[in-house]
A and B are shown apart, each in its own frame.
Chain A
Amino acid sequence: MKIQLNNREEEFGFTQLTITELLAEKNFTFRMLVVKVNGELVKRHEFDQKLVKDGDDVMILHLITGG
């Protein structure tokens, strides 16, 4: 599948992935995250169920301290 990840096109050798699997594929091990799929916020407890499919627009924000 091809998805938009943080405004960049990325290709994965799967037809679909859960958010948890997508984070593992990308080696994203951040503690504080905001995830949006097609504009909808995905809460942490939904990461194992929410599926990302071909054509989806995904935003994964890593929240870090400083300001």
Chain B
Amino acid sequence: MSVTYPEAISKYLSRFTVGIAGCGGLGGVGKLVIADYDIVTLQNLNRQYYFHDQIGRLKVHALRENINRIDPAITVKAFDLKLCVSDVIELFAGCDVIVEAFDKAEMKQMIIETVLTQMPGKYLVTGIGMAGWGKTDLIHCLRSDRLIICGDGVSEVSETLPVLSPRVNMVANMQANEVLEILLKGFVPPSPESR
């Protein structure tokens, strides 16, 4: 039986679990653990993966539905709560990588401190600085051991600097790309004869 290269990657990735903290604009592995307390609003639709008819629903439920419409085989564990230190430790303990996809700076600080001090060995991929538009060249990636920071590090959301789809999703995709780099470290490509 021949296995294509992309199939081999999918099969390899299906064993992993990724935790997504926050289900806004930032947030195909086998299992996902998602957590958020917010509901879908009209203002979210410019950059987040929800539909107009999902306005008013819990983000975690709407997102699980949307992910399973793309692929019913993906297991999504959804937690409707505002994450605190003990939740982070408990819910994401079984995850191979944690993705920080919060909005508020305070929450970003909380999860970074929690993972660095209380979850040794765990990778955390964060998104910091993505408001506004243009300035593509400023977006970059900073790595320090198991902490990875994607974004421009300076563009804070404000009245005159809203969060818009292109930069938010550039950072979100950069985070996803860092997750793949971490997960695929041990991937052995299928040999040419089996393809």
Q: A residues within 8 Å of B by Cβ?
A: 6-7, 31-34, 36, 39, 41, 43, 59, 61-67
B156 close to chain A: CB less than 8 A: yes
- Chain A binding site: helix, strand, loop or mixed by DSSP? loop
What distance in Å separates the Cβ of A33 from its nearest Cβ neighbour in chain B? 8
Whether B106 pairs with A61 at a CB distance below 8 angstroms is no
Interface mask (B18-40 → A, CB under 8 Å = 1, otherwise 0): 00001011100000000000000
Give how many B residues have a beta carbon under 8 Å from the other chain's beta carbons.
33
Whether A67 pairs with B156 at a CB distance below 8 angstroms is no
**Complex formed: what's the CA distance from A67 to B101 in Å?**
7
- Chain B binding site: helix, strand, loop or mixed by DSSP? loop
Task: List residues of chain B with CB within 8 A of the CB of A61.
Answer: 112, 128, 149, 153
Task: List residues of chain A with CB within 8 A of the CB of B155.
Answer: 64, 66
- 22 A-B residue pairs with Cβ-Cβ distance under 8 Å, sorted by A, are A32-B105, A33-B109, A34-B112, A34-B113, A36-B144, A36-B147, A39-B144, A43-B113, A59-B144, A61-B112, A63-B105, A63-B106, A63-B108, A63-B109, A64-B153, A64-B157, A65-B104, A65-B156, A65-B157, A66-B129, A66-B130, A66-B163
Whether B26 pairs with A64 at a CB distance below 8 angstroms is no
Whether B24 pairs with A67 at a CB distance below 8 angstroms is yes
Find A67's partner among B147, B149, B163 (CB 8 Å cutoff): B163
What distance in Å separates the Cβ of B131 from its nearest Cβ neighbour in chain A? 4
